[in-house]
Chain A
Amino acid sequence: MLPLLRYTLRRLLSAIPTLFLVVALAFILVHQAPGSPFSDERVLPEAVEDNLRARYHLDESLPEQFVRYVGGLLRGDFGPSYSYPDRSVGDLIAIGLPVSLKLGALALIVSVVLGIAAGIVAALQHNKPLDRLVTGFAMTGISVPVFVVAPVLVLLFAVHLDWLPTSWSGSSGLSRLVLPVIALALPEIASIARLTRANLIDVLGSDFVRTAKAQGLGTAAIVRHHALKPALLPVLSYMGPTIAAVLTGSVVVEEVFGIPGLGQFFVRGALNRDYTLVLGVVVLYAVLIVGLNLIVDLLYSLIDPRIRYR
């Protein structure tokens, strides 16, 4: 157990510079941008704008602001929002994050289950019509962007067939989650199906499977007891990129379906020059991606005994 603990600690430590880099880059980018969060159509009296700048510490030097911001982050304080004056960024995140997490988690589960199932079917039917169908579908799923899939799904299932609600507001319960989750999951189902198929075909052609066959084991038993685990290990290591893709995709899906999640806050925040809101969402996403990647790697090393914690 000790090497695993050491590995975990080392990975946690190496995540710190990455996260610092993200915060610093995003901070510099946001503060180098032309225009200010208060320079929209309304022209404010100079005194008012000075007061505003002082209130949000924009009158300090950049390094001072950076230190103040990072200090706040370490205490879990994302700072005040510019465009929602009465709310802190933390409040907004608390509103958006649960929605986005629910959407993302459901999409992730759907993509893993359906992707692996489709991949297994295709591998077992290698080069037969069903395999061609899955491979063709997978290529399409990878190629067609989320923002094309989503409106077409709405048109088909919500407008023409009228089975599901067209948007988030004006409906409730699970039904309004169905289309967003499908739109978000489709490309990931496709990627996971391709990966599972390729790996399983590889494993099924290996020596130990031939031995098992020679001993009279049926295909189902071979797949279940011997071939599936080695074939799914690469799928597990692919979970990191999948999580990142689902988080990114949810920005689009939230826009298309009008879902009040983090992605929507991010796009609005970027357009409104709400510096702290945008920074907060970027930092949060970075923490999520780095953290979930770490968990995936730890799981991987627990499951695959060949991995030595280097």
Chain B
Amino acid sequence: MNPAGKTSRRLPDWLTAQRSVRVSAAILGAITLAAILGPVLSPHDYLTTDFDELTRPPSLGDGHVFGTDDLGRDLFVRTMLGIRVTLMVAVVASLVSLVIGVSYGAVAGYVGGRTDAIMMRLVDALYAMPFIFFVILLMALFDRSLFLIFVAIGAVKWLDMARIVRGQTLSIKNREFVQAARLTGVPTTRVILRHIAPNLLGVVVVYVTLTIPQAILVESFLSFLGLGIQEPQTSLGTLVDAGVPHAESAVWLLLIPATLLAVILLCFNFLGDGLKDALDARRRR
């Protein structure tokens, strides 16, 4: 099914076999490209207020493709910048959770025994905590900064990753090639880096893809409550929050950022789900 040797440099075929994976990757690519290029190509910027053009509905004629907000700022550029911020926050926060989760899980799985038991008991205990309330507290009580958002989201989302990586490490640890490496005297760090880490890659990639939409949710949730990204900086959550009071008179201010947020989340979830199915199917073979 999978001709050998063909998969060396590109993404492996089994990962991109499903249509949902290819379609959502394409949509996400297009949105990212628009978010990067849009503000550069547009004649407007995200800050300039134009009092002759307050709350204009979307139109192709005057260059405000998404219309303008109640301060006369171009919604297209603001939305694209919001997507940039949202994606950036989500990716960095997911990487934070990846670093914490993978190191924690790998250590617990590799060391095993009593250490593993204690470390996983702690994870179980943390699962029972109302984390999102801690994140709200953190954002409300301390100076809000991008850095704090990364830390807060990353610190919440590493638990799943730790569990999954631990399980994987446990099963890889007992495979013949690892045993063989150990018996021939390969040092522990080298065993972990050369033999275990590469085999964790598939799972980790899949779960990062599934963490990104969750991070987007937390960030936009915080921004919606007014605790995340602050004006005049913007994110999709901030834009939705700003659109709600105008929903009756200027519905595009709510619907455009809300739809884009929904599409991005939907695509990431389809992507993650598809990759997970592909991974499961491959493992079963």
Contact indicator A244/B130 (Cβ below 8 Å):
yes
Do A270 and B254 have beta carbons less than 8 Å apart?
Answer: no
Cα–Cα, bound, A143→B271 (Å): 12
The verdict on A285 contacting B247 (CB below 8 Å), with A143-B266, A148-B262 known, is no
* Complex contact B134–A148 (CB within 8 A): no
CB < 8 Å neighbour of A140 from B237, B243, B266:
B266
Give the residues in chain B near A159, CB-CB below 8 Å.
Answer: 247-248
User: Which A residues are in CB contact (< 8 Å) with B240?
Assistant: 147-148, 151
A290 contact set on B, CB distance < 8 A: 128
Q: Is B4 on the interface with A (CB-CB < 8 A)?
A: no
Q: Which A residues are CB-close (under 8 A) to B138? A: 29
Q: Is A164 an interface residue (CB 8 A)?
A: no
Hey, which chain A residues are within 8 Å of B262, CB to CB? 140, 143-145, 148
B128 touches A148 (CB 8 A): no
- B217 proximal to A (CB < 8 A): yes
A252 contacts the other chain (Cβ, under 8 Å)? yes
Q: Closest CB of chain B to A71's CB: distance in Å?
A: 22
Expressed in whole angstroms, the Cα–Cα distance for A152 and B251 within the complex equals: 10
Task: Decide if B137 touches A30 in the complex (CB within 8 Å).
Answer: yes
B269 lies within 8 A of A22 (CB): no
Q: How far is the CA of A25 from the CA of B155 in the complex (A)?
A: 14
Candidates B225, B248, B266, B273; contact of A252 at CB < 8 Å: B225
Report the contact-size class of chain B (Cβ under 8 Å from the partner): 35 or more
Residue B136 interfacial (CB < 8 Å): yes
Once bound together, how far apart are the Cα atoms of A115 and B249, in whole Å? 35
Please tell me the size bucket of the interface on A.
35 or more
> Known interface pairs A155-B247, A252-B225, A270-B140. Does A144 touch B130 (Cβ–Cβ under 8 Å)?
no
Q: How far is the CA of A19 from the CA of B34 in the complex (A)?
A: 47
Min CB distance B166 to A, Å, is 19
How far, in whole Å, are A281 and B241 apart by their CA atoms in the complex? 24
Check if B128 sits within 8 Å of A286, measured CB to CB.
yes
**Interface residue A110 (Cβ < 8 Å from any Cβ of B):** no
How long is the Cα–Cα vector from A282 to B248 in the complex, in angstroms?
35
Residues of A within 8 A of B244 (CB): 151, 256
A33 & B128 in contact (Cβ 8 Å cutoff)? no
Q: Flag if A266 contacts B269 (CB, 8 Å).
A: no
Inside 8 A of A285's CB, which chain B residues have their CB? 130, 133
Give A139 to B265 CA distance when docked, in angstroms. Answer: 10
Asked whether A273 is an interface residue with its Cβ less than 8 Å from the other chain, the reply is yes
CB-defined contacts of A140 to chain B, threshold 8 Å:
262, 266
CA distance A248 to B269 in the complex (A): 21
Which listed residue, B143, B258, B266, touches A152 by the CB 8 Å rule? B258
Question: In whole angstroms, how far apart are the Cα atoms of A198 and B130 in the complex?
Answer: 28
**A85 lies within 8 A of chain B by Cβ:** no
Residue of A nearest to B136 (CB): A270
- List of B residues within 8 angstroms of A147 by Cβ: 220-221, 224, 237, 240-241
Since A21-B129, A151-B240, A285-B133 are in contact, a sample of 18 more A-B pairs with Cβ atoms closer than 8 Å, ordered by chain A residue number, is: A26-B133, A145-B262, A147-B241, A148-B258, A148-B261, A151-B247, A154-B247, A155-B251, A159-B248, A251-B225, A267-B136, A267-B140, A270-B136, A270-B140, A281-B133, A289-B130, A290-B128, A293-B128
